[in-house]
């Protein structure tokens, strides 16, 4: 479990269990960039959710992730080459954007290892996500 600094307890008292939620495509960045970012954040005492470490074996992934998203204050989606091709990642992003719009949570996207041409694909995928949000959260 991640270390907590004194500032962590004040965030928890405002209804946030996690200071940061990392959203990523595991096969793209888990053992490199995302793992290093997670370590750097937790080494600084920032309570960070990463699905590898905080989901208990036997948990249903989707309900556990939705709960972790709802209990997070800052989101860092790591938008890698294959992120948008994962329906699981896009479902996470739908919930993240919903929290951004309804709770005022911060979203700090990181574009990792993508070419300029890939931005068009991300723009198209985000338009699809926006449509899904308005449908799922009227």
Classify residue 100: in a domain, yes or no: yes
pLDDT tens sequence across 81-108: 888 777 778 888 889 988 998 999 999 9
pLDDT at residue 120 above 80? no
Residue 1 lies in a domain: no
Residue 54, domain member (yes or no): yes
CB atoms within 10 A of CB 57: 4
Work out how many domains the chain is built from and give that number. 1
Distances (CA, A) of 45 to 1, 37, 86: 11, 13, 30
Least confident of 17-31, 34-48, 63-77, 119-133: 119-133
| Domain of residue 71, CATH code | 3.40.50.10140
Options 71, 92, 101, 136, the catalytic residue:
92
Catalytic-residue membership of 92? yes
Whether 21 maps to a domain, the answer reads: yes
Q: What is the pLDDT of residues 42-72, one digit of tens each?
A: 999 999 999 874 445 444 467 888 999 999 9
Q: Is the pTM of this model over 0.85?
A: no
Q: Rounded distance, CA 118 to CA 102, Å?
A: 29
Q: How far apart are CA 60 and CA 64, in angstroms?
A: 6
Q: Which residues of 5-34 are buried (b: 16+ CB within 10 A; e: fewer)?
A: eeebeebbeeebbbbbbbbbbbebbbeebb
Tell me whether residue 76 is in a domain.
yes
Instruction: Identify whether 121 is part of a domain.
Output: yes
Between CA 65 and CA 91, with CA 87 as vertex, the angle to 5 degrees is 40
Q: Provide the residue range defining the domain that includes 67.
A: 6-136
pLDDT band at 126 (very low <50, low <70, confident <90, very high): low
């Amino acid at each position: 479990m991640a270390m907590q600094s004194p500032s962590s307890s004040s965030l928890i008292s405002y209804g946030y269990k996690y200071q940061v939620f990392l959203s990523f495509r595991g096969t793209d960045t888990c053992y490199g960039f995302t793992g290093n970012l997670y370590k750097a954040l937790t080494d600084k005492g920032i309570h960070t959710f990463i699905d590898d470490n905080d989901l208990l074996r036997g948990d249903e992934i989707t309900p556990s992730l939705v709960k972790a998203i709802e209990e997070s204050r800052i989101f860092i989606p790591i938008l890698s080459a294959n992120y948008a091709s994962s329906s699981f990642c896009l479902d996470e992003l739908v919930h993240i954007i919903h929290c951004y719009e309804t709770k005022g949570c911060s979203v700090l996207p990181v574009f990792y290892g993508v070419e300029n041409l890939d931005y068009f694909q991300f723009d198209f995928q985000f338009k699809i996500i926006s449509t899904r949000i308005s449908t799922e959260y009227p």
